[in-house]
Amino acid sequence: MSKIPPYESKFVQYDPSQQIFRVNRDAYRCPEVFEEEKQKVLYKSWLVLGHEAEIEKKGDFVTRRIIDRELIFNRDNNGQVNVFYNTCLHRGPAVCKQKSGNRKTFVCPYHGWVYRNTGQLISTGSHEFDAAYPKHYFDEGEAGVKLKRVKNVAQRAGFYFVNFDDDAIPLDEYLADAGKRLDRIASHTTAGFEMISGVHEYEIKANYKLLCENSYDGYHLNQTHATYVDYMMEMLKGADIDPGVRGNAYSLGNGHACFEMPILTGRPIAQWLPPWGEEAKQKIAEKRAEVIARLGEELGNDVCDMNSNMVVFPNSVINDQQTILIRSIVPVAHNRMIARAWTIAPKDEDPVLRSIRMENILSFLGPGGFATPDDVSMLEWAQTAYESTDVQWNDFSKGMRADENTLRDSSSYNDELQMRAYWLQWDKLMSAV
């Protein structure tokens, strides 16, 4: 891919030769910009919906809001995965108000229309009412009444995506090198994954892009999360630490990017910390040996040692670190978002390793852990400053090189290449006629 020449748009100042990259704060603080980007960016991108582990059994379903679309993500009685709009074809109310569960049918609470979990209408409330409608309403063929499906649904490595654009490119093309990162997560186990019960949802009074930036920003770790850094130094007493270890950031094409670090934070697959004790040490050694035997020395060590934070452009975060955490960001307004986070784990995970995974979720990644409250505070303070000052530009120039190929390159984990890649893609879509 050829390098992008310097340019300036309404939102971005980009000049690698001068090592300058700035973003106009109107991209975060203007309601008009938010409405425009919904049309040009969010509705035209592949968005993470969920993971197959959430709908493992026939009849399993999850209801989920993606941008401002209410959806049902389910596995029907035939074993097929479906994504329906959560609305009755009669007069409109949602046919399912539960967050998740297992159902053979979905029933509209207004007039009692009943749909199979395949989407097919089977009743309008009673035999008497059914007789008042044309018989073809209940046909399983094209003439029958069925819950409307989202047109573009695809999956990679068990992660399901939706796209609301009629002209959407194929998912694998869209993901570019981010797809390989999802494949690497899938290689944690040959047994498949299961859902860890419970989904965290919390509101942040800030623009959704701030959480994307923060999620793979290695620069803020020591300052913002100083308490966690101190905690980990205690946890690591007695561990063999290489003080020279550093991580890298990678831009993966189409605005996707990640950073990865061989940092000792402890991983159920498969990195031991002294406080976990000897039983855990043995279990982790066994898991590590299995992974390396299956994947080979180079990839196996990479899977076991590397913590990775990835943003799938434009609003999905997938962390492969102390656990596998999927974070889907729901933009609600220019200055408000809902963060939704859930985690998956190998079905064949040893109970000792599962206990470690659960502790990792609570201690760092959960809403009450070391990381999330710190980050939420910073994002909300930033949003307040954008809306209450006349400063026009944010700076993302750290680590920029004159020869940088921003959309496909690498840099230090605490530089800002990954964010420059995000904003170049965002600006490209926003500038499209």
CA distances from 274 to 85, 239, 282, 363 (A): 49, 6, 12, 16
End-to-end CA distance of the chain: 23
As a whole-number percent, the residues of the chain with pLDDT over 70 amount to 96
Residue 263 has pLDDT above 90, yes or no: no
CATH superfamily of 170-431: Naphthalene 1,2-dioxygenase Alpha Subunit; Chain A, domain 1 (3.90.380.10)
State the residue for tokens 């998956």: 344
pLDDT tens by residue, 82-113: 999 999 999 999 999 999 999 999 999 999 99
- Helix, strand, or coil (residue 160): strand
Of the listed ranges 71-75, 203-207, 235-239, the least confidently predicted one is 235-239
What's the rounded mean pLDDT across residues 115-136?
A: 96
Buried b (16+ CB within 10 A) or exposed e, 391-402: eeebebbbbbee
Residues of the chain with CATH 2.102.10.10: 55-153
pLDDT tens by residue, 48-71: 999 999 999 999 999 999 999 999
Evaluated on CA atoms 157, 158, 159, 162, the torsion sign reads: positive
Residue 77 has pLDDT above 60, yes or no: yes
Residue 244 has pLDDT above 60, yes or no: no
pLDDT tens by residue, 195-227: 998 888 999 999 999 999 999 998 887 777 777
* Residue 343 pLDDT: 92
What's the rounded mean pLDDT across residues 360-365?
A: 76
* Residue 2 pLDDT: 53
* Residue 1 pLDDT: 47
Tell me which of 245 and 397 has the higher pLDDT: 397
* Residue 240 pLDDT: 61
CA 180 to chain centre: 15
Residues of the chain with CATH 3.90.380.10: 170-431
* Residue 238 pLDDT: 64
For the ranges 20-29, 223-232, 299-308, the one whose mean pLDDT is highest? 20-29
Non-local (6+) Cβ contacts of 339 within 8 A are 200, 201, 202, 203, 204, 211, 327, 329, 330
pLDDT tens by residue, 386-410: 999 999 999 999 999 999 999 999 9
Tell me which fold the domain 55-153 belongs to: Rieske Iron-sulfur Protein (2.102.10)
